[in-house]
């Protein structure tokens, strides 16, 4: 099994436990939004390996390319340059460098917390997306033994 499949499986287990805890202790009843949370959790589980030649790198940089192209074509050069700058950060470090730290696990998904504050009209983001991203990210760190739980 390739590495990304192991991280997807780890993210799946972590997400399942998260939903189970919500159901058992917070009387949560799952709705369709849970599928989006799941997708965000899977992206969080893959993100740390964006710093090396991996499926995660191809996925995220392919997405960055599409978004950056759209921003350039619509004349949003400042936003395009900011995306380009921040997209460079993971690949200037070593593999299992800063992207594999606990601090990064909390900071990288933080735009999901900030988005509803700066763009409330989008009606998305917030804690309900941040927590699944964080859970996925942490599952990656546990599997890579950056967080030693076993």
48 lies in the binding site for Zn ion (CB under 5 A): yes
51 lies in the binding site for Zn ion (CB under 5 A): no
Give the residue ranges of DSSP H helices in 1-150: 3-26, 33-46, 55-73, 77-92, 102-107, 111-118, 127-143
User: In angstroms, what is the minimal distance from the CB of 88 to Zn ion?
Assistant: 19
One residue of 8, 47, 49, 132 binding Zn ion per CB under 5 A: 49
What tokens does 88 get? 């460079």
Closer Cβ to Zn ion, 76 or 96, answer by number:
96
Q: Which of residues 64-83 bind Zn ion (CB under 5 A)?
A: none
One residue of 9, 59, 101, 144 binding Zn ion per CB under 5 A: 144
Within 8 A by CB and 6+ apart from 45, the residues are: 7, 8, 10, 11, 14, 136, 137, 139, 140
């Amino acid at each position: 099994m390739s590495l990304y499949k192991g991280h997807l499986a780890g993210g799946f287990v972590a997400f399942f436990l998260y939903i189970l805890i919500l159901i058992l202790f917070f009387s949560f009843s799952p709705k369709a939004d849970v599928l989006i949370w799941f997708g965000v959790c899977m992206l969080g589980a893959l993100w740390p390996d964006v710093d090396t030649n991996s499926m995660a790198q191809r996925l995220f940089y392919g997405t960055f390319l599409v978004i950056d192209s759209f921003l350039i074509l619509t004349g949003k050069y400042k936003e395009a340059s900011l995306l380009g700058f921040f997209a460079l950060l993971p690949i200037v470090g070593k593999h299992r460098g800063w992207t594999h730290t606990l601090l990064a696990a909390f900071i990288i998904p933080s735009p999901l917390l900030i988005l509803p504050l700066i763009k409330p009209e989008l009606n998305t983001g917030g804690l309900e997306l941040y927590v699944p991203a964080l859970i996925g990210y942490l599952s990656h760190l546990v599997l890579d033994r950056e967080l030693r739980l076993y």
